[in-house]
Amino acid sequence: MNQPPLPEERTLLIVEDDRPFRERLARAMEARGFTVAIAENVAQGMSRAREVPPAFAVVDLKLDDGSGLDVVEALHEVRPEARVVVLTGFGNIATAVAAVKYGAIDYIPKPADADDILSALLAAPGHKPQPPENPMSADRVRWEHIQRVYELCGHNVSETARRLNMHRRTLQRILAKRSPR
């Protein structure tokens, strides 16, 4: 299979609603040779993607006004060869598959640093990533799953407990604790 080469143009769009992270990542990527444009929501991201389609993009999956996948789709309409990495704090297989279907080249769970993102953006087409050196513990995976279901239930403890087949008080105790490492 013949993969397209990496773009020589180093334009990057960062669509992220977490302001401190967005600004820190923008500075880090500028230091690595990118010309960076930023957006804080889906509407801005789609607008910037259409105005000056970047060669690369880093898009948060869950933004205040919708899904980052809408930005990925809009970018690929105007620049099909753009290399997009999707970031998420709520990673799961379904959203990873959806991100790839919309054209993302990689899907990275938060917290991610600039080097991880740069490696994903510049990975040779068809490159197979190495397994993580420090995979999440079973406790962390369980906690992430509970948080995702809680989020999907609109922070309704009773509904979350029902869907997880868990006692409501047990769920409340878990939600009150910090995330495991």
Q: 């899907």: which residue's tokens? A: 107
Domain spans of the chain, in order of start: 11-122, 138-176
Strand 104-109 relative to strand 66-67: parallel, antiparallel, unpaired? unpaired
Question: What pLDDT shows up at residue 1?
Answer: 43
State residue 16's pLDDT score. Answer: 93
Structure confidence at residue 7 (pLDDT):
65
The CATH number of the domain covering residues in 11-122: 3.40.50.2300
Residue 122: which of 9, 1, 15 has the closest Cα? Answer: 9
Pairing outcome for strands 62-63 and 66-67: antiparallel
| 109-134 residue pLDDT tens | 877 888 889 988 888 776 666 666 66
Residue 164's alpha-carbon distances to 38, 102, 129, 176, in angstroms, are: 38, 29, 32, 17
* Summary mean pLDDT of the chain: 85
**What's the DSSP call for residue 5?**
P
CATH number of 138-176: 1.10.10
Q: Give the predicted TM-score (pTM) of the model.
A: 0.71
Residue 83: predicted pLDDT:
92
